[in-house]
Amino acid sequence: MLYVTGSVLLTLLVFRRSNGDSVTQTAGLVTLVEGASVILNCTYQTSYSGSFLFWYVQYLDKAPQLLLKSATENQRTDSQGFHATLVKKKNSFHLQKPAVQPSDSAVYYCAVEGTVRGTAGGAEHKPTGAQEGLGGEGYFLFLGSV
């Protein structure tokens, strides 16, 4: 008998700005048991080498909130059991968690933002268009137990 302990909803979104900056997340269907590891791919293209990458999480009926912001290249950033490392050579900022939980059920957004020259680190922005209901294909990560 299958008892559902929770689910995680992950959505593919492509953020594209007028200057050609973009972020792409991988789509697909993944079924996992609670405690399994997950990697959410995020690749980007940007015209500004000082751009920051962000991971946002949006729980049901809530506004998106910042989960992670990239640090310097090859430096791991951690929050709420998730981690990501900015790898500029591969244009990637993949989100990882070694053991997912039902409380991880949410939509996850990867976003790129160029900083304003002269600021120290830039602001922590909401992803462009997130409040306008960005759509796109996605994938659903299902957590269950036998």
Domains recognised in the chain with CATH numbers: 3-145 (2.60.40.10)
pLDDT at 30 (0 to 100): 60
* CA–CA separation, 30 and 46 (whole Å): 29
pLDDT tens digits, 84-109: 999 999 999 999 999 999 888 888 88
Residue 70: is its pLDDT beyond 50?
Answer: yes
Candidate from 11-25, 55-69, 70-84, 91-105 with smallest mean pLDDT? 11-25
- Helix (H) / strand (E) element for 93: namely none
pLDDT at 102 (0 to 100): 86
